[in-house]
Amino acid sequence: MNIQEAVKQALKTGKGIQRKSQEELPIWFLPTNTPVCIAIMNGEKMISKKWNPEADDLLANDWKIC
């Protein structure tokens, strides 16, 4: 799915998003409507705030809910 669809589903379910092409990494993203914006997560730990996606991330169709 694209990132817009993934974020909508993640917000509804309280889950995160991740690209299928990057599943081997323990990193996933938690979209929020807070000043954190999109948190970068490693397991259950937030490792950074305000993820800045690259153009390839915004255009990708391999996003999934995790």
Q: β-pairing, 63-65 with 27-31?
A: unpaired
What tens-digit pLDDT sequence spans the chain (66 residues)?
A: 999 999 999 999 999 999 999 989 999 999 999 999 999 999 999 999 999 999 999 999 999 999
Domains of the chain, by residue range, sit at: 3-52
The pTM is what? 0.91
Structure tokens, 41: 């997560």
pLDDT the model gives residue 11: 98
Residue 46 backbone phi and psi in degrees, to 5: -75, 125
Q: pLDDT of 25-41, one tens digit each? A: 999 999 999 999 999 99
CA-based nearest residue to 63, from 31, 37, 32, 34? 31
What is the percentage of the chain residues whose pLDDT exceeds 90? Answer: 95
Q: Please name every residue paired with 28 in a beta bridge, in sequence order, or none if there are none.
A: 41
Please answer whether residues 50 and 40 qualify as being in contact, where contact means their C-beta atoms are separated by less than 8 angstroms: no
